Structure 1
Amino acid sequence: MSEHPQSRPTPLGLYDRPERRGMTTVEIVALALSGLWLMGSVFFFLAFGESEAGAGDGVEFDSLRFVMTLMAIFLPVAMVWVAATAARSARVMREESSRLQAAIDAIRQAYVTQSQRQSVAAEPAVAKKLDEIAAATRKTETALATFSSSRDRARPLAPPKAVMVDDQAALPLGTTAEDMAPPLAREDFIRALNFPETAEDEEGFAALRRALKDRQAAQLIQAAQDVLTLLSQDGIYMDDLKPDMARPEVWRRFAEGGRGKPVAALGGIRDRSSLALTAGRMKQDPIFRDAAHHFLRLFDRMVQAFEPSATDAEISDLSNTRTARAFMLLGRVAGIFD
């Protein structure tokens, strides 16, 4: 028993060297028919040709007879070999078609394997980046808490003031801290929808923390984060997409309820691989499909509430965020802009 067992060679498909075969059954049959026909023709003209030799009227008749004799002998042979050649060509075409199909299957398998390897290689990088962002966030929050505590300790305590009952502001029952909080600035909301650029993006983290204190903004941001995380598993990142930006008028028409061709410009994502991967994930993964539809509903509500008082510049800034690009991609796959 040898140390290295022999394995069957993998077919190379289109790059495999075609096999050189000898005579096939069709060619053998054609050769036999040609031989039989020639032997029969020779026997016929030798046996019956002499008796008709004197029936001619001249040189022209002899020439015509000679030509007809050649056609009678060789024309059937030529037809047999034309049929044999056609059969051989058909067999070669079938072999070439099989080799071409094998090559296509090999290319498809290589593409799938490469995509899976890239996805597996990208997951540790994404997880590491998320860990860095989380660590930076915790570090910033710790510094802010320490700073606030230091200010509270340094401030002298003031004696409580007597407040008259009549001067006390009456609060309705059920009022929460969120209702008393100041409204979220549009700049912070748009900046939060784009998410922090890097772990050192302090302004991005600050805008994100302020946006998360708003209940409706927090819901949309959480849904967008879930969708972006799921898309990154297939190697789809919003920074790699370069969509065709739509005019603010189109976004306003969408906010007013327009669908289909009037708002088709919003589906500006042209990356075929990202569209194909997203469509496949939408059909096969129910978790991804539910997350995508939930995100699309929240984004639709946000645009309806954001558009009436927003300027064209603010709408343009909103459409250039990572969240808006995810909406363009998922909306086009879901058929919102068809």
Structure 2
Amino acid sequence: MPDPQDRLVTPQAAAEAASKRFTRSEAVAAALSLAWLVAVAAYITFSPGEGGALGLVMTLLMVFLPIALIWIAVTTLRSVQDLRAEATRLQSAVEAMRSAYVQTQVQPSVEKKLEEIERATKSTETVLATFSSRRDVSLTQPSADRKAALASPRRGADAGDQPALALGTPAEDLRPPLSVADFIRALQFPESPEDKDGFRALRLALEDRTVAKLIRSAQDVLTLLSQEGIFMDDLKPDRARPELWRSFAQGERGRAISGLGGIRDRSSLALTAGRMREDPVFRDAAHHFLRTFDKTFSDFEKNASDAELIELADTRTARAFMLFGRVAGVFD
């Protein structure tokens, strides 16, 4: 396929072509003028003479009028060719401006994408640094709501590597259980660096081994989704009834709980499905997150009220579950 630039005529080339046409036109005009003068001279020489002023005027008109008409035609042709050359030059300028406009439209979109990825990475690094460096007492105090988030803390292998105190009591047992309010707040993640309540709840959640697994897996998938320009705050899922959430916690799957897949944003669903097909790391992180959410939510549902289930469904972690659940076919 030929390059569109090859079809463009530069102003210099147009001027050169016009100059050549001008030379040919003038040569033709000069030849016609000369031929006419020769014909008039021959006529005057071989025709009988006419006297008087009228004869002189007629002779001059006969000599110069055709020549004037010839050069008027040449001048008109020159003007037309100048206009054509100017039109060619303007066409080249318009094509150049169009090409520059297309490039300026494409480049900012690429730069915007890179900036979004950079912001998401920096945000993740900031949160991770805060988790590992903040030891403020205000960030580790439990909330006033002492209702436990999980019905039965997991033991066994999860607690096998915990340091034992006197009489074999694990250090984890000395801490109060994570409350429902702190659990829900942690799954929402901090709204900003100034969100002290969010960081306090997140700190407490990370001290619970079971909840910490869900928090870290959710953080992994949220970071991966942000690289595709998918942010949970932009998604507006349909609200599901608490009965559907309880059915899911009790093992129900398929169309019976299809109302939980409230994410309808086609762009986000398509981008997520494409990334899961092409990126095995992304796919493994998504499936690990779904399994972890399933196990932890089953424990949470036993102690949660309907209002608390609705509140949890509005967190960023729950929205990520809805998105990945629809893509993975949990609700089919």
CA contact (8 A) 1:133 1:198 kept: no
Counterpart of 2:233, as a letter, is D
CA–CA separation in structure 1 for the residues paired with 2:125 and 2:290 = 27
Is 1:321–2:297 an aligned residue pair? no
Q: Tell me the CA shift for residue 131 of structure 1.
A: 4.5
Is 1:303–2:294 an aligned residue pair? no
Q: Would you tell me which structure has more helix in proportion to its own residues? A: 2
CA contact (8 A) 1:226 1:291 kept: yes
CA–CA separation in structure 1 for the residues paired with 2:108 and 2:323 = 23
CA contact (8 A) 1:190 1:318 kept: yes
CA–CA separation in structure 1 for the residues paired with 2:220 and 2:5 = 42
Q: Of residues 195, 214, 232 in structure 2, which corresponds to 1:220?
A: 214
Residue ranges of structure 1 left out of the alignment (5+ in a row):
1-6, 12-109, 146-169
Partner SS for 1:308: helix
Partner SS for 1:307: helix
Equivalent residue, structure 2, for 1:202: 196
Equivalent residue, structure 1, for 2:117: 123
CA contact (8 A) 1:212 1:218 kept: yes
CA contact (8 A) 2:182 2:202 kept: yes
Q: Of residues 275, 278, 290 in structure 1, which corresponds to 2:284?
A: 290
Q: Tell me the CA shift for residue 208 of structure 1.
A: 0.4
Is 1:235–2:229 an aligned residue pair? yes
CA–CA separation in structure 2 for the residues paired with 1:113 and 1:263 = 44
Alignment map for 1:3-18 (pairs within 5 Å)? 8-9=3-4
TM-score between the two structures when normalised by the length of structure 1: 0.57
Counterpart of 1:119, as a letter, is K
Decide whether aligned partners of structure 1 residues 197 and 328 sit closer, same or farther in structure 2, where only a CA change above 3 A counts. same
Counterpart of 1:198, as a letter, is S
Counterpart of 1:314, as a letter, is E
Equivalent residue, structure 1, for 2:275: 281
Q: Tell me the CA shift for residue 182 of structure 1.
A: 1.3
Decide whether aligned partners of structure 1 residues 8 and 326 sit closer, same or farther in structure 2, where only a CA change above 3 A counts. same
Is 1:262–2:270 an aligned residue pair? no
1:5-55 residue CA offsets vs partner (Å, 9 max, x unmatched): xx92179xxxxxxxxxxxxxxxxxxxxxxxxxxxxxxxxxxxxxxxxxxxx
CA–CA separation in structure 2 for the residues paired with 1:178 and 1:137 = 19
CA contact (8 A) 1:136 1:200 kept: no
Q: Tell me the CA shift for residue 261 of structure 1.
A: 1.1
Decide whether aligned partners of structure 1 residues 139 and 291 sit closer, same or farther in structure 2, where only a CA change above 3 A counts. closer
Is 1:312–2:309 an aligned residue pair? no
Q: Tell me the CA shift for residue 133 of structure 1.
A: 4.1
CA–CA separation in structure 2 for the residues paired with 1:113 and 1:242 = 30
Counterpart of 1:276, as a letter, is A
CA–CA separation in structure 1 for the residues paired with 2:198 and 2:113 = 27
Q: Tell me the CA shift for residue 118 of structure 1.
A: 3.9
CA contact (8 A) 2:242 2:309 kept: yes
RMSD: 3.0
Counterpart of 1:296, as a letter, is L
CA–CA separation in structure 2 for the residues paired with 1:212 and 1:321 = 17
Q: Tell me the CA shift for residue 178 of structure 1.
A: 1.1
Decide whether aligned partners of structure 1 residues 258 and 201 sit closer, same or farther in structure 2, where only a CA change above 3 A counts. same
1:152-174 residue CA offsets vs partner (Å, 9 max, x unmatched): xxxxxxxxxxxxxxxxxx9543x
Q: Tell me the CA shift for residue 304 of structure 1.
A: 1.0
CA–CA separation in structure 2 for the residues paired with 1:136 and 1:302 = 24
CA contact (8 A) 2:121 2:223 kept: no
Partner SS for 1:293: helix
Q: Tell me the CA shift for residue 121 of structure 1.
A: 2.2
CA–CA separation in structure 2 for the residues paired with 1:124 and 1:131 = 11
Identity over aligned pairs, percent = 57
CA–CA separation in structure 1 for the residues paired with 2:269 and 2:106 = 16
1:281-301 residue CA offsets vs partner (Å, 9 max, x unmatched): 111100011010000001001
Decide whether aligned partners of structure 1 residues 244 and 139 sit closer, same or farther in structure 2, where only a CA change above 3 A counts. same
CA–CA separation in structure 2 for the residues paired with 1:334 and 1:125 = 28
Equivalent residue, structure 2, for 1:64: none
Is 1:181–2:179 an aligned residue pair? no
- Give the length in aligned residue pairs: 210
CA contact (8 A) 2:131 2:203 kept: no
TM-score between the two structures when normalised by the length of structure 2: 0.58
Which piece of structure 1 moves more, 132-141 or 285-294?
132-141
